[in-house]
């Protein structure tokens, strides 16, 4: 299987066909690798969807491709959305309700990331990642809350495992994702009486994704051998975890973080081979940027 799913997923997976028939999913970052495969799984299993992104053409093209996966599916791509601005998302919610009638599932998946040690990480760069990842997650739920309350829906934040330990070159993302986990936990308690569930999914090293290409440690050629399960994750692993957390099988599960990483986080940072040599060099040779 490549980076995307197809009808074979329905034929081979453990999930009942049309399990999400009549449901509508609202996904930020839906044209990206991880969030796209999450959307594909939901659509293949009966849901309609709206995906949001910054790049209009990329988002609309992805929506058109996903819509073809299931006869009768309706998938709308809305570009030029900035998750840092809540009104930008609110307008997309209006379009979703007008075109598809409701919102049952929300995936807050828009994210920003790049490698940078502290000395090269400016205050504006740190703020940008926190604004996209954490504030963007808050804004997504804020804009969708009224619809979720009507449907007694479910929220899934896309987190990470970077904040489970100190990961060099990822202080900005680790701080943002720790905030996402905390936000999800608090909302699970606040929203529970309204029948809304909220959880996080924390992907690890997933093969053939933008994240792996951008974040693989330099010179690392055998990361799969460091994973206790002895393989990198696949996009189907993410799809299955997503389907489970939105399915009736998870109706009593809220306020949790579902780690999907083959237990890699249990054996330490995947960037451990850079420590401490590279960090000593960075700290000695560079003056911190403001």
Helix, strand, coil content of the chain in percent (nearest 5): 50, 10, 40
214 CB-contact burial (10 Å; exposed 0-12 / middle 13-18 / buried 19+): exposed
Q: Which of 49, 26, 270 is nearest to 160 (CA)?
A: 270
Sign of CA dihedral 126, 127, 130, 136: negative
DSSP state of 218: T
Q: Is 151 a catalytic residue?
A: no
Hey, what are 101's tokens?
A: 């009638």
Among 88, 116, 137, 159, the active-site one is: 159
CA 63, CA 67: separation in Å to the nearest integer? 6
Q: Is 122 a catalytic residue?
A: no
| CA separation, residue 209 to residues 36, 257, 280 (Å) | 11, 21, 30
CA 97, CA 177: separation in Å to the nearest integer? 29
DSSP state of 164: G
**DSSP per position, 107-172:** EE---------GGG--HHHHHHHHIIIIIHHHHHHHHHHHHHHHHT-EEEEE--SGGGS--TT-HH
Among 88, 116, 177, 269, the active-site one is: 177
Torsion of CA 249, 190, 199, 252, to 10 degrees: -20
The dihedrals phi and psi of 270, each to the nearest 5 degrees, come to -70, -10
Strand pairing of 197-203 and 154-158?
Answer: parallel
What amino acid positions are annotated as catalytic residues?
159, 177
């Amino acid at each position: 299987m490549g980076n995307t799913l197809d009808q074979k997923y329905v034929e081979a997976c453990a999930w009942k066909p049309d399990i999400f028939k009549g449901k509508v999913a609202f996904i930020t970052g839906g044209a990206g690798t991880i969030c796209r495969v999450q959307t594909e799984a939901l659509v293949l299993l009966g849901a309609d969807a709206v995906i949001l992104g910054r790049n209009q053409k990329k988002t609309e093209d992805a929506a058109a491709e996903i819509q073809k996966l299931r006869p009768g599916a309706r998938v709308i791509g809305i570009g030029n959305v900035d998750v840092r601005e809540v009104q930008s998302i609110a307008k997309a919610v209006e379009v979703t309700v007008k075109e598809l009638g409701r919102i049952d599932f929300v995936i807050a998946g828009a994210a920003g990331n790049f490698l940078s040690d502290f000395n090269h990480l400016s205050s504006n760069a740190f703020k940008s990642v926190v604004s996209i990842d954490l504030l963007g997650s808050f804004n997504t739920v804020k804009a969708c809350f009224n619809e979720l309350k009507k449907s007694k829906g479910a929220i899934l934040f896309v987190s990470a495992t970077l904040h489970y330990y100190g990961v060099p070159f990822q202080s900005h993302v680790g701080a943002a994702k720790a905030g996402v986990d905390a936000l999800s936990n608090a909302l699970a308690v606040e929203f529970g009486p309204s029948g809304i569930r909220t959880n996080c999914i924390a992907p690890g090293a997933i093969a053939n994704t933008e994240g792996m290409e951008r974040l693989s440690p330099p010179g690392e050629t055998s990361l799969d051998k460091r994973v206790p399960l002895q393989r990198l994750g696949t996009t189907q692993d993410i799809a299955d975890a997503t389907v489970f957390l939105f399915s009736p099988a998870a109706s009593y599960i809220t306020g949790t973080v579902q780690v999907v990483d083959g237990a890699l986080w249990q054996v330490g940072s995947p960037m451990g081979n850079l420590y401490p040599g590279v960090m000593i060099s960075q700290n000695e040779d560079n003056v911190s940027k403001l």
